[in-house]
């Protein structure tokens, strides 16, 4: 075992966990550094030994969220036999994650992230998963551009649906699993078309 820290013992992880907890409690993504410090039992300025500023902390929290999302998507990948079923279940998992963790989902896509291709995060990993699953649906020899458009088409649908649901723009009857399938499936069918 490493030293695990002196005063507190891995404050960094504790802060991230506290942030996650607050967001689950309040269903809101705006949290306060001071509050996190209070919960962890540390002085208000302690967080700055581990994060450059508040945004850096939020970024770390968001990246953890993307990691969890990736897990859900990978589970969907492993659970199905056909490429189309895999893509469908990945879409369902995406929406399910958003609705289960609205504040986290909000945070993950909150600030425009810069220099992303320089240092890819778990968000790009999630995108890669989706892209692979979509490519597996496309007929052999499909041009790369088509696959890219299809990937973003599908991502846009599930992402947009999630956002609209979280924003309260969908009525209850539009948020059932069956309705979601009605929204997604025709888009998935466009994937294997010439």
Partner DNA sequence: GAGGTAAGTATGCGGTGTAAACATGAAATC
Partner DNA sequence: GATTTCATGTTTACACCGCATACTTACCTC
Could you list the residues that contact a second copy (CB under 8 A)?
A: 109-114, 116-117, 123, 127, 145-146, 148-149, 152-153, 155-164, 166-171, 173-174, 179, 182-184, 186-187, 189-190, 193
The only residue of 48, 109, 127, 179 in contact with DNA, by rule CB under 7 A: 48
> Does residue 176 bind DNA (CB under 7 A)?
no
Whose Cβ is closer to a second copy: residue 16's or residue 62's?
Answer: 62
Least Å from the CB of residue 82 to a second copy: 20
Only one residue has tokens 């962890």, namely 40
Instruction: Find the DSSP H helices in 2-53.
Output: 11-26, 33-40
Whose Cβ is closer to DNA: residue 1's or residue 172's?
Answer: 1
> Does residue 62 bind DNA (CB under 7 A)?
no
Find out whether 187 and 158 touch, Cβ atoms under 8 Å. Answer: no
Length of the chain: 194
> Does residue 21 bind DNA (CB under 7 A)?
no
The only residue of 21, 24, 26, 53 in contact with DNA, by rule CB under 7 A: 53
Q: What is the DSSP string of 75-137?
A: HHHHH-SSHHHHHHHHHHHHHHHHHHSHHHHHHHTTSPPPSTTTS--HHHHHHHHHHHHHHHH
């Amino acid at each position: 075992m490493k030293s695990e820290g002196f005063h507190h013992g891995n404050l960094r992880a504790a802060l991230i966990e506290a942030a996650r907890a607050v967001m689950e409690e309040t269903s809101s993504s705006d949290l306060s550094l001071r509050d996190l410090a209070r919960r962890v039992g540390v002085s208000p300025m302690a967080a700055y030994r581990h994060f450059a500023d508040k945004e850096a902390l939020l970024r770390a929290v968001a990246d953890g969220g993307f990691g969890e999302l990736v897990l859900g998507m990978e589970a969907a990948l492993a659970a199905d036999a056909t490429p189309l079923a895999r893509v469908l279940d990945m879409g369902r998992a995406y929406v399910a994650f958003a609705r289960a963790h609205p504040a986290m989902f909000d945070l993950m896509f909150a600030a425009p992230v810069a220099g992303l291709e320089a240092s890819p995060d778990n968000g790009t990993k999630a995108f890669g998963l989706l892209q692979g699953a979509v490519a597996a649906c496309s007929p052999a020899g499909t041009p790369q551009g088509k696959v890219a458009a299809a990937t973003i088409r599908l991502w846009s649908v599930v992402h947009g649906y999630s956002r609209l649901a979280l924003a309260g723009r969908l009525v209850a009857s539009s948020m059932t699993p069956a309705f979601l399938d009605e929204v997604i499936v025709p888009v998935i069918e466009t994937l294997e078309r010439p």
